[in-house]
Structure 1
Amino acid sequence: MQLLQQRTSAPSRQGLHVCNVAVPSKPPAFKSARRSKVEIIKEKSDYLRHPLMEELVNDNPNINEEAMQLMKFHGSYMQDHREKRSFGLGKFYQFMMRTRQPSGLVTNQLYLVMDELADKYGNGTLRLTTRQAYQLHGVLKHDLKTVFSTVIKNMGSTLGACGDVNRNVMGPAAPFVNKPEYMLAQKYANDIADLLAPQSGAYYDVWLDGEKFVSVYKEDPKVTADRAFNGYGTNYTNSPEPIYGTQFLPRKFKVAVTVPGDNSVDIFTNDIGVVVMTDANGELQGFNLLVGGGMGRTHRSNETFPRLADPIGYVDKDDIFHAIKAIVATQRDYGRRDDRKQARLKYLVDEWGVDKFRSVVEQYMGKRFQDFKPLPAWKFEDYLGWHEQGDGKLFYGVYVQNGRLKGDAKVALRGVIERYELPVTLTANQNIILRDVQPAWKEDIQATLEAAGLTDVADLSGVDRLSMACPALPLCGLAITEAERGLPDVNKRVLALLNRLGLGDEPITMRMTGCPNGCARPYMAEIGYVGDGPNSYQLWLGGSPNQTRLAQVFAERVKLRDLESTLEPLLAAFKARRQPGEAFGDFVARLGFAALRGYSESYVPAHKVDSLPTVSIDEDTFKALEAVAAAEGKTIAHVASEKLQKLNGQ
C-alpha cells in the first residue's frame, strides 16, 4: 500500500490504546501503486484550482478534460446538448450546476434567486434531484461566475455537490417542529455536511476571485473541533484539506440521516446511513450507523453491482463526527484508486466483509462500536399533501413530475412562495414542500397551484405518485436512452394496463434511468427500467415498497413497444395469486422469477382468446381444467396452453 502520510498511534478518548492500521509492515514496493488518470489530475490541481481557473477565462465555449474533472468538485458538470448541435459545428456545450442543500432545506431568499437564475442564465427550468438538491441546466460558460457567485452571496452553495467528496447529505424532509428526532436529523445532516466539506478555500478563489465572503452562518463548534482532532490518524497534518488531502476520495461519497422507521431518504442506498436515536423524552442518545450502500453499476459486468448498506454499529452522541471521519478515512486510504468502477465504498465493504471493515474503522476512531440498536419496521414516506407542522402552521407537499419545474407550474410556485415568504424543502422523491404555511393561506395556495397544473395528492395515481426518473437525454453524457421525458408515457400505459386487468389504481413504485448508474435508484423499485439501448431497457423487478430490498434483473433489452406484452402476464399473475394486502414487489420476491417466467410463457391475453383455434374436449376434462384454473388463479385458456406446452416438451 502506498501511503501519503505516516500515522502515529495515540491513547483513546476513553483510555483504550489502539495501533493504527495505516503503518506499513514492510518497505514500500519499488513501483508506486497504479492510479487512474483522475487521481493524477487531482494531485496536480493545487487543491482543485488549476487548470480550472485558467480554463474559465479563455474564449472557448468549453473547458478541457482536466478542468472538467475539477469542475465537478465545485458542483458542476459540462454537458453537450445533443439536440442543439449544428452541422459542422460540433458539440453544443453548456453546464449543469448542482447545489448543496443538506436535508433539502432552502430559504425563501435562495428559492427566489434560483428561480430567477433559471430564467436569466439557464434553460428556464429547475430540476429537483433525488438527493434533495437543485440542478440548474443550460448555463453557458461565460455566465458561470455570475451564477455561482450569486448563489454563494445569497447563502447557497454548490461546494461538494459533485466530485470525489461527500455529496449532499440527505435528511427527512418533513418539518415536524414538535418531533425532536426530526429536528435532530436535519441538524446532524447539516453538521455532517459541514464536517466533510472541502476546506482549502479553492472554491472561493475560483468563483469569488479570492474575495473573503462573510456569511452569518457559523458551523457548530463541535464540528470544527472534531474535524481538527487527529488522535488516530484520520487527518493530514498541516494540510489545507485535513480529511481529504491532495487526493480527496477515490470516488463520490453519499450520506443520509433519518429517524427510526422513516425511510423517505432511501437509507440503504448510501455509503453511510445515520439513524438518530432518542429516548422517550426526545433527548438525543446516539446514532445507529450503516455502511456500504450504493446504486451505480455497468451493464453485463458482474464486478459492478448495486448494494444495500449493512449495519456496522451504534455510537454515543459525542462520537458521531469521529465515527463519520473514521469511515471516510478508511475509504480514503483503502478504497481503490486504480479503477474508478471499483472505487466506491460498497466494493471495499463487500470485499472485506463488515467485520473486517468495522475493525479497521474502530482503529481510526479509537473506540469500538456498540451493538446496533433495535429499530422499528421501515416505511416509505413522501409527505405529499397537507400536514400539521406542530406549531399551529401547516406544510404542503407538492408533487412535481420527475422533479422538473417549468412553465406555468414554476411561475405559480414562485408566486405563492414569494407572496407568503415561504421557505421550502426539497424531497428525496423529487418533490417540494412548502413550509410555515398559515392555515388562512391554505385555500389560496392550493387553488393557485392546481390552476397551474400541479396536481394535488388526492388526484394522483399510485403509479405517478411513487415514480421517479433521472434527466437522461438530451443533456446527460452517460444517457443511452430516455428517462425523464419517457416515464410519463410509460406510466400512462401501465395505468391503462392495470385498469384493463381489473387492478385499478394499484400503487407500484416505478423508477427509470437512462443508463445503469442508477441516479433515480431504479434498483430499489418494484419495477425498475434501466436504459441499455435505443428505446430499450433492462427490467428490474422485486424491490420493496419501503425500499429495503434490492430488485433483480428480470429481462434484458425490453423494447418500449413490448412493454405491455412483457408486463401483462406479470400483473395478471399478481392479481390472481397475491396475498391480502401484498404489494407487487413483495409478490415478485415471494413467488420468484422461475415461477413468473413459467406463468408468462403460457399466458394467454384475454383479448386473444377469441382468435385462438377451437379445440373440442369432453365435459370431464373441461371441468378438470376449470378447477385447476380456479385453484391457480388463471384463465382456462392459460391452463390449457400451459398443459399443451408441457405435453409438447416446450
Structure 2
Amino acid sequence: MVKSAPPPIANRKPSKVEGLKENSNFLREPVATQILEDTTHFSEDAVQILKFHGSYQQDNRDNRVKGQEKDYQFMLRTKNPGGFVPPQLYLALDKLADEYGNHTLRATTRQGFQLHGILKKNLKTAIATIVKNLGSTLGACGDINRNVMAPPVPFKNRPDYEYAWEYAQNIADLLSPQTGAYYEIWLDGEKAISAEESPEVKAARQRNGNGTIIHDTEEPIYGTHYMPRKFKVCVTVPGDNSVDLYSQDLSLVIITNESGQLEGFNVFAGGGLGRTHGKEETFARLADAICYVAKDDVYDLVKAIVATQRDYGDRTDRRHARLKYLINDWGVDKFRAKVEEYFGKPVAPFQELPEFKYQDFLGWHEQGDGKLFLGISIDNGRVKDEGSFQLKTALREIVEQFNLPIRLTPHQNLIFCDIEPNNKQAIQEILNQRGVVSDPGQIEPLVRYAMACPALPTCGLAITESERAIPGILERIRSLLDKLGLQDEHFVVRMTGCPNGCARPYMAELGFVGSAPDTYQLWLGGSPDQTRLAQPYTERLHHNDIESFLEPIFVYFQKSKQSGESFGDFCDRVGFDAIREFAGNYVPEATPEITEDTQAQVTALVAKIITAPSRGRHRISIHDDVYNKLKETAGSQNKPMSELVNEALRIYLKMD
C-alpha cells in the first residue's frame, strides 16, 4: 500500500501549508467551523484551505485606513472545463454579481469567471447558488488541478475540437477532489445534480497504476496532502495555441487519423510562469515535449504525471514546488523514466506537429452545423456597464432571450454558441443599442490582443496597478507608434501587477510586470503566437518614462525590421545588446513647439478636470468633451496625451 504522505526530504521540513492540508480532514477545517462564526473574515490558516473551495480572501486596498479593520471581501472563481458556461449558470452569476458582488463579472485567463466583492456572510449563499445552477468553484484555486482549458471555438464539423472538449471535461472529472467537504460546508451535505461522469473516468480513478492510487482514503489520487502547488492542464488540437499550451504543467494535443478518429495525444509537461523578483531560482519556463500516448492509456498517463509531481514535487519551499522545477532539476529523461514507472510501461515517442498559431475567434462565424457563433471582445475580461457602454446588460439580454451557451476564451473574451441564423440581426441590434462592438476590425489592435490581471485594489499580492493602468498605457503606446510612423503595427502586450504572471506576460511581445509602485519590469521578445518566452529587458521602468524608454526601441524596429516581421520576433532576432546599443546612441528628433493658441486651449480644458482623491493615491477623471478635445490636440501636435496634459498643467499651475 502506498502511503498518503509524500516522501520525506532529508534535513528539510515541509512548509506550513503542508501541515494545514494534512490536518484539514480533507479540506473541512478550519473552514467548516469559521464559516459559522459572525466575523468579517477567516483566519490565515482557514484562508489556505478556503482556496481549495474556489475562494480567495481579499480586501479593498483603496479603503485601507491605519488603525481600522481591513475592508474584507471575497473573490469566487468558477471551474468551467473548456470554458463552457450553460445559460442558466451565466444568468445566476450575473445576478450574484449585482446582489452580493461589485456589479461586475470577470472572465479569467483560465476560462472561468470571477466574482469580486462578496462578503463573508454571503459566501455560502453565493457558492450554493453557483452549484445549484450547474456550476462549481471546487478546485478553481488551491494546491490541486485547476480548471482544464481547451480551445473555445465551437467548430461542430471538426472532430478534433469535439475531442478536445470531451477530454478536457473528462480530465477535469478525473482530477476533481473526491472529498465530501465542499457539499457539506456550502450545501449542508446536499450533493447537487451534475452531469454523469464517464464510466472510463470512474474506472481510471480507482485503477492502481503502480502507485498512482492511494488506498483507503477519501482522495485516491491526492491523498491527505493534495499537490505540492497548483497544477494546470489544457487539451488542444494541432496548430491551435489559443490556450497558451507552453505555459501549462500538462498539455495534451489531440492526434487523429485521416478519417478524423481519435488515436492518441502528444504530451507536453513542465510549463509555468510564476516567479519572484530578486529570486533567480524562480523563473518562467516553457513546457517540454514528453511523449505520445494512445487514447486508451491517456487517463493512466495523466495519473502517472500527477503522481510523479505529487510524490516528488518540492513540499518544503513553495516557490520551488511547481512541476516545472522538478523537470528542470531532473531533466526530461529522468522525469520521463519516473513517469514510466507509475505508468507501468515505456511511453511512445512524441509525434511531429505543425506550428502553433494564436487565434481569438472574435466576430461572427459559421460553426459548421448550420448555426453561428459570435466572439465578443471583453477588455481585460471585465464584464460591466459603464455609461453608454453596457456590456453586462447586453450579455444578460442575449442569454435571457436566446438561451445561448457560452464558451469563455483563454484571452478573457466570450463566445456565444449555437446561434440560429435568423436570430443574428436581433442579437446584433442588442449589441448596437448597448454600445458593444462585435466587429473585431473596429477594435484597436493593441487593445484586442492585450491582457491584464486585476491587481489593485483587490489582489493582496499586487505591487502596482494593472487592469486599471493598461488602458491608458496602451493608448500612450499607440500615440507613440503613430508619432513614429508605425500606425499599422501592433503586438501582444500583457501586464501584471506582480511577478506571479496571472495574465501570462512572459509569453508576450511586450510584457509589463509590476516591480514597485507605478513601476514595471519590462519583458521583450515573446512570440505573437505565444510559443517563445520573452526575456527581461529592464528591471524598473516608471510609468511616466514609458514613451521616452520605448521610443528608441520602436525606432530601431522601424529602421531594421524585416518584411512582415513582428515586434517580438524582431527583438528576439537582433538581441538585447543591439537594442541597447541603438538606444544608447539614439537622439530623438526635435518636436514642434506648442503654439500660444494651443497652450491656451489646453489650459482652459485642464481647468475643467475633476480631481478625485482616494485614500493613499490621487487620481483624476476628465469630462468626455475634455478628453475628446485633448486627444484631437495631441494628435495634431504628434505628442502623447499624457505629455500634453503635463505641460498644460505646469502652465496652469504656474510651475514654469
Could you tell me the TM-score, scaled by structure 2's length? 0.88
Q: Is the alpha carbon distance of 1:468 and 1:5 closer, same or farther for their aligned partners in structure 2, counting shifts above 3 Å?
A: closer
Deviation of 1:398 after TM superposition, in Å, equals: 0.2
**Which of 124, 127, 132 is 2:106 aligned to?**
127
User: Structure 2 CA distance, aligned partners of 1:231 and 1:397?
Assistant: 42
The aligned runs of 1:577-616 (5 Å cut-off) are 577-607=560-590
**Number of the residue aligned with 2:355:** 377
- Report if the CA contact (8 A) 1:400-1:454 is conserved: no
Mark the CA change 1:569 to 1:451 in structure 2 (over 3 Å): closer, same or farther.
farther
Residue in structure 2 matched with residue 618 of structure 1 by the alignment: none
Distance, in Å, in 2 between the alignment partners of 1:594 and 1:32 is 43
Aligned to 1:563: 546
Deviation at 1:300, TM superposition (A): 1.8
**Partner residue, 1:361:** 339
CA contact (8 A) 2:492 2:509 kept: yes
The DSSP-based 3-state class of the residue aligned with 1:303 is coil
1:18 paired residue number:
none
| Correspondence for 1:436 among 407, 412, 418 | 418
What residue in structure 2 maps to residue 79 of structure 1?
A: 58
Distance in 2 between the 1:608 and 1:112 partners? 53
- Partner of residue 406 from structure 1, selected from 361, 384, 391: 384
C-alpha distance in 2, partners of 1:206/1:33? 34
127-136 vs 82-91, which moves further: 82-91
SS of corresponding position for 1:314: strand
**Where does the alignment leave 5 or more consecutive residues of structure 2 unmatched?**
595-656
Partner of 1:336: 314
> Deviating runs (4+, > 4 A) in structure 1?
608-611
Deviations 1:170-213 (A, max 9, x none): 00000001100001001100000000000011111111111233
Cα displacement (A) at 1:610: 10
Residue 33 of structure 1, CA deviation: 4.8
Alpha carbons 2:209, 2:300 under 8 Å: kept = no
In 1, Cα distance between equivalents of 2:300 and 2:591: 64
Question: Do residues 426 (structure 1) and 426 (structure 2) align?
Answer: no
1:223 maps to 2:201 = yes
Alignment partner of 1:274 out of 230, 235, 252: 252
Aligned to 1:473: 456
1:147-226 mapped onto 2 (5 Å cutoff): 147-215=126-194, 217-226=195-204
Distance 1:5 1:43 in 2: 10
The 3-state SS of whatever aligns with 1:607 is coil
Aligned residues: 588
CA distance in 1, matches of 2:251, 2:535: 22
Give yes or no for contact 2:4–2:223 (8 Å, CA) kept in 1: no
Query: Kindly tell me: are residues 142 and 572 of structure 1, through their superposed partners in 2, closer, same or farther at Cα, counting changes over 3 Å?
Result: same
Structure 2: distance between partners of 1:369 and 1:606 = 60
The Cα of 1:86 is off from its aligned counterpart by 4.7
Q: Say whether 1:249 aligns with 2:232.
A: no
Q: Which residue of 2 aligns with 1:462?
A: 445
Aligned 1:463-612 pairs, distance under 5 A: 463-607=446-590
**What SS is found at the alignment partner of 1:359?**
helix
Instruction: Assess, with a 3 A threshold, how the Cα gap between structure 1 residues 425 and 212 changes in structure 2: closer, same or farther.
Output: closer
The DSSP-based 3-state class of the residue aligned with 1:211 is coil
Letter in 1 for 2:482: N
State the distance in 2 between where 1:339 and 1:450 align. Answer: 52
Task: State the secondary structure of the residue aligned to 2:590.
Answer: helix
1:448, distance to aligned residue in structure 2 (A): 2.1
Instruction: Between 598-607 and 354-363, report the one with greater CA deviation.
Output: 598-607
SS in structure 1 of the partner of residue 365 of structure 2: strand
**Is the 2:4–2:225 contact (alpha carbons within 8 Å) kept by the matching residues of 1?**
no
2-side partners of 1:87 and 1:276: how far apart?
54
2:405–2:418 Cα contact (<8 Å) kept: yes
Between stretches 287-296 and 81-90, larger displacement belongs to 81-90
User: Cα distance, 1:541 vs. partner?
Assistant: 0.2
Query: 1:606, CA displacement in angstroms?
Result: 2.0
Counterpart of 1:606 in 2: which secondary structure?
coil
Shift of 1:602: 1.1
Partners of 2:196 and 2:488 in 1: how far apart? 48
Whole-angstrom CA distance in 2 between matches of 1:298 and 1:181: 38
Q: Deviations over 1:566-621 (max 9, x none)?
A: 1111111111111111000000000000000011111122235999xxxxxxxxxx
How many angstroms apart in 2 are the aligned matches of 1:592 and 1:473? Answer: 33
Identity %, equivalent residues:
55
Task: Please tell me whether the aligned partners of residues 495 and 505 of structure 1 are also in contact (alpha carbons under 8 angstroms).
Answer: no
Q: Which amino acid aligns with 1:165?
A: I
Q: For residues 48 and 440 of structure 1, what CA distance do their matches in structure 2 show? A: 49
Q: 1:515: Cα distance to partner?
A: 0.1
Q: What is the TM-score normalised by the length of structure 1? A: 0.89
In 2, distance between residues paired with 1:564 and 1:447? Answer: 39
After the TM superposition, which residues 255-334 of structure 1 pair with which residues of structure 2 at under 5 Å, given as runs?
A: 255-334=233-312
State whether residues 82 and 168 of structure 2, in contact with CA within 8 Å, keep that contact through their aligned partners in structure 1. yes
Instruction: Letter of the 2:82 partner, please give it.
Output: S
The residue aligned with 2:597 is: none
Does structure 1 conserve the Cα–Cα contact (< 8 Å) formed by 2:252 and 2:265? Answer: yes
Measure, in 2, the Cα distance between the counterparts of 1:607 and 1:489: 25
For 2:475, the aligned partner's letter is K
SS in 2 for 1:558: strand
CA distance in 2, matches of 1:239, 1:293: 30
Alignment partner for residue 118 of structure 2, among 139, 144, 157?
A: 139
SS of equivalent residue, structure 2 residue 255: strand
Over 3 Å counting, the alpha-carbon distance change for 1:610 and 1:52 in structure 2 is closer
Q: For residue 436 of structure 1, give the secondary structure of its aligned residue in structure 2.
A: strand
Evaluate the alpha carbon distance shift between residue 453 and residue 482 of structure 1 in structure 2; reply closer, same or farther with a 3 A threshold: farther
Q: Does the 8 Å contact 2:394/2:434 carry over to 1?
A: yes
Are 1:96 and 2:88 counterparts?
no
- Please state whether the residue corresponding to 1:257 is helix, strand or coil: strand
Look up the match of 2:36.
57
Shift of residue 302 of structure 1? 0.7
Answer yes or no: is the 8 Å Cα contact 2:152–2:408 preserved in 1: yes
Contact 1:113 1:154 in 2 (8 A): yes
Match of 2:218 in 1: 240
Q: Deviations over 1:82-114 (max 9, x none)?
A: 112355322110100000000100101111111
Q: CA deviation at 1:426?
A: 0.4
Moved more, 89-98 or 470-479: 89-98
Change (3 A) 1:534 1:5: closer
What secondary structure is seen at the aligned counterpart in 2 of 1:434?
strand
Deviations 1:118-147 (A, max 9, x none): 001100000000000000000000001100
Contact 2:4 2:224 in 1 (8 A): no
SS at 1:127 equivalent: strand
Could you report, residue by residue, the CA deviation over 1:474-497 in whole angstroms, capped at 9, with x for unpaired residues?
000000001001001111011111
The offset of 1:413, in angstroms, is 1.1
Distance (whole Å) between structure 1 residues aligned to residue 38 and residue 304 of structure 2:
44
The whole-number CA distance in structure 2 between the counterparts of 1:86 and 1:534 is 18
Separation in structure 2 between the aligned mates of residue 413 and residue 499 of structure 1, nearest angstrom: 34
